[in-house]
């Protein structure tokens, strides 16, 4: 069985996922579908069992005639033992290190950990100040999947980490890429990567609502291979005059209410991490603004209400939402919880067919759960799910099981809100 002969070892939030995707698209390079295996680094602490050697090698079982085999795990760079372990496993391995401005990296890592529910201190400065306590085992967030990520300064202290790999492998086997160079001249930096020994061209295409990287390389059989290896989202509007400038994608979130609750706080967390250079957003509450709505407004995100009363059907609210959407139609409407799924879905259809993503947040909802109004909304969403939403997202396997009875959907996504992961479930449900 083939072993990996090159490793992308980090650092986190420095472009390793993009490089991993680009290399996966090369016809003569094999990288497992799973990133962040983290077999090496006995000093790394994860809240999951460490993979065994047979399990690790099984990731590379599909290797056929590819000329290079590699994997990417971003905490190998941070680990004090991973370099020596990799050297013992694969002495001739090439090492790829990607680095970024330390301040930008720390801030991005903090945001990612918040999004994945691996961090509970929303304020970045507070998280930095807590590092001393956390090294003593205090103020640790129990949901976190690893403890290394709490130490932002240590993760961004690159010099001893890079020096360790230089000493273990020698400078000739270690290649360092700077994040800014990678983003500004992707094709040039990629071609300098020793893992890609064969001709490969990376072209970054930017247009209204779309950013994609297209690779074109020489296949083993001499043909040309082309594929899109990364795309943020599909273009939602056509623009025949220019593809030079990238426009903001507008998303409207419609939620049943903004009192304190799990769905409401998840929406707030999502908006707090929003990339304002790519997305424009606003929030619509069916009822009052509420305490979470005030927090969202503090993020400079517009919040407006339909003036509806809880458990009291009101067609005027639906009319107001339709009117608003027609005046300023978004690219996408995301709804949160059953009442918003129903009203938001109908409004989007009446406003001209705006794409809608339903968000199923209820984990234990059933025939005896919730109030009568919620049960009726859920029952109505069942048959309408074939017609109204473009996609349906369930926050967990439990909410997937508790989805509206008899709801056929074109594609349904199940997410783990604790780990920030998702999977697609296709077909009629």
Averaging pLDDT over each range in 125-134, 381-390, 401-410, which range is the top one? Answer: 125-134
Query: Which domains are seen in the chain, by residue range?
Result: 6-198 (3.40.50.300), 204-245 (no CATH), 249-426 (3.40.50.2000)
In order of 107, 109, 276, 292, 422, the CA distances from 263 in angstroms are 25, 23, 22, 10, 17
Instruction: Return d(Cα 306, Cα 166) in angstroms, integer.
Output: 61
Instruction: Return d(Cα 186, Cα 212) in angstroms, integer.
Output: 12
Beta-strand runs (E) in 109-257: 174-178, 200-207, 210-218, 224-231, 249-255
DSSP 108: H
- pLDDT tops 60 at residue 202: no
pTM: 0.50
Q: Identify the residue whose tokens are 């998840």.
A: 266
Instruction: Return d(Cα 152, Cα 391) in angstroms, integer.
Output: 36
Q: How confident is the model at residue 210 (pLDDT cuts 50, 70, 90)?
A: very low
Instruction: Return d(Cα 110, Cα 116) in angstroms, integer.
Output: 10
Q: What is the DSSP string of 256-304?
A: S--SSSHHHHHHHHHHHT--TTTEEEEEEESS--HHHHHHHHHTT--EE
* Closest to 336 in 3D by CA, of 292, 366, 369: 292
pLDDT tens-digit profile of 38-89?
A: 999 999 989 888 899 999 999 999 999 899 999 999 999 999 999 999 999 9
pLDDT tens-digit profile of 364-376?
A: 444 444 567 777 8
pLDDT tens-digit profile of 24-40?
A: 888 889 999 899 999 99
pLDDT tens-digit profile of 158-197?
A: 999 999 999 999 999 999 988 888 877 766 666 666 665 4
- pLDDT tops 70 at residue 227: no
Pairing between β-strand 411-416 and β-strand 391-394 as defined by DSSP bridges: parallel
Q: What is the mean predicted confidence (pLDDT) over 3-15? A: 92
**Residue 412 near residue 391, CB atoms below 8 Å:** yes
Average pLDDT, the chain: 76
Per-residue confidence (pLDDT) for residue 407, from 0 to 100: 46
pLDDT tens-digit profile of 388-429?
A: 888 888 765 544 555 554 444 444 444 443 333 333 333 322
Per-residue confidence (pLDDT) for residue 362, from 0 to 100: 59
Instruction: Return d(Cα 99, Cα 158) in angstroms, integer.
Output: 8
Where is average pLDDT lowest: 69-78, 130-139, 306-315?
A: 306-315
Where is average pLDDT lowest: 120-134, 242-256, 264-278, 314-328?
A: 242-256
**Residue 97 near residue 176, CB atoms below 8 Å:** yes
């Amino acid at each position: 069985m083939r072993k990996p002969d090159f490793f992308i070892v980090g650092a986190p939030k420095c472009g390793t996922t993009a490089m991993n995707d680009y290399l996966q698209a090369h016809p003569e390079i094999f990288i497992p579908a799973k990133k962040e295996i983290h077999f090496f680094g006995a000093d790394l602490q994860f809240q999951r069992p460490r993979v065994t050697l047979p399990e690790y090698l099984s990731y590379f079982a599909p290797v056929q005639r590819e000329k290079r085999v590699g994997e990417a795990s971003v905490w190998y760079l941070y680990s004090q033992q991973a370099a020596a372990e990799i050297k013992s496993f694969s002495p001739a391995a090439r090492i790829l290190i990607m680095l970024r401005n330390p301040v930008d990296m720390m801030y991005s890592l903090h945001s990612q950990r918040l999004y994945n529910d691996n961090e509970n201190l929303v304020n970045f400065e507070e998280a930095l100040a807590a590092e001393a306590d956390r090294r003593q085992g205090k103020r640790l967030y129990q949901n976190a999947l690893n403890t290394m990520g709490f130490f932002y300064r240590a993760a961004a202290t690159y010099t001893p980490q890079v020096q360790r790999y230089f000493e273990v492998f020698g400078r000739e086997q270690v290649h360092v890429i700077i994040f800014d160079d990678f983003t500004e001249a992707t094709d040039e930096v990629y071609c300098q990567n020793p893992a890609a020994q064969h001709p490969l061209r990376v072209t970054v295409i930017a247009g209204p609502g779309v950013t994609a990287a297209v690779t074109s390389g020489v296949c083993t059989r001499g043909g040309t291979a082309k594929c899109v290896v990364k795309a943020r989202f599909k273009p939602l509007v056509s623009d025949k005059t220019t593809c030079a400038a990238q426009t903001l994608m507008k998303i409207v979130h419609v939620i049943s209410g903004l009192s304190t609750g799990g769905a409401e706080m998840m929406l707030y967390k999502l908006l707090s991490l929003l990339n304002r250079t790519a997305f424009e957003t606003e929030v619509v509450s069916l009822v009052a603004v509420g305490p979470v709505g005030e927090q969202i407004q503090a993020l400079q995100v517009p919040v407006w209400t339909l003036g509806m009363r809880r458990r009291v059907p009101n067609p005027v609210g639906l009319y107001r939402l339709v009117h608003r959407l027609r005046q300023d139609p978004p690219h996408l409407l995301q709804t949160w919880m059953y009442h918003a799924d129903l009203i938001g879905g109908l409004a989007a259809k009446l406003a001209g067919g705006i794409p809608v993503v339903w968000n199923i947040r209820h984990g234990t909802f059933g025939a005896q759960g919730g109030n009568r109004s919620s049960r009726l909304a859920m029952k109505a969403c069942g048959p309408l799910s074939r017609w109204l939403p473009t996609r349906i997202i369930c926050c967990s396997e439990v909410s997937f099981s508790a989805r509206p009875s008899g709801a056929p959907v074109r594609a349904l996504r199940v997410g783990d809100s604790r780990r920030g992961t998702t999977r697609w479930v296709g077909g009629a449900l």
